[in-house]
Homo-oligomer: A and B are copies of this chain.
Amino acid sequence: MSEKKCDCGRQHVFDRRDALSLFSGAGLAFGAGPALAMATKSLQRPEDERYMRLAIAEAAKGDFPFGAVIVRDGKVVSTGRNMGVTNNDPTAHGEMVAIRRFVADNPAKQLKGATLYTSGEPCPMCMGAIVWCGIGRVVFAASIEQLSKRLGQIMITSRAVAEATPFADIEITGGLLALEALALFDKK
């Protein structure tokens, strides 16, 4: 495991196991300030960029530019993009759509240990869904802090949700291709 800056120029790619002790008790969104950067380490894997590009491609088609893909055993098993307007459903975030599509056709237990790639850090709704489904790893591009400059956000990080969940151990990798994900907001 090596330290690495992400493409947005900040060191905000995290390893839950290393950072846990630093953030326990923190319930609100945090920026990538100096104190935080000290604890960040990359968990990026060789395949991550390829899957994140698929998530960003989904986002490009969304009602709002958010997209997600779920990967299991090296295969994309579900995709989703924001369909809040299309579906008349404010809960139809990319991650939720991908999860719902998966469980509509497959045993939900197959989500355990899967990886979810998303163009935007999961909000508490989506992160809660990820927890309840037993998804083992989340890779996100733009952070909630970054997204909050474009759209109103619930300022609780995916990490805070994971750390508040005693029965789950979710690995989180953030910041991958963040600039590409954020650029979609300029095209809308």
Contact = CB atoms under 8 A, between A and B. Distances in A.
B103 A131 contact: no
Nearest to A106: B88
B160 A165 contact: no
A53 B109 CA distance: 33
A165 B27 CA distance: 12
A152 B155 CA distance: 23
A78 to B, nearest CB: 13
Interface residues of A, number: 40
Contacts of A111: 90
A127 B124 contact: yes
Contact of A154 (B29, B91, B131, B154): B131
Contacts of A87: 103
Given A156-B124, A164-B28, A164-B156, A107 B91 contact: no
Interface of A: 25-29, 84, 87-91, 93, 96, 99-100, 103, 107-108, 111, 123-129, 131-134, 152, 154-156, 160-161, 164-167
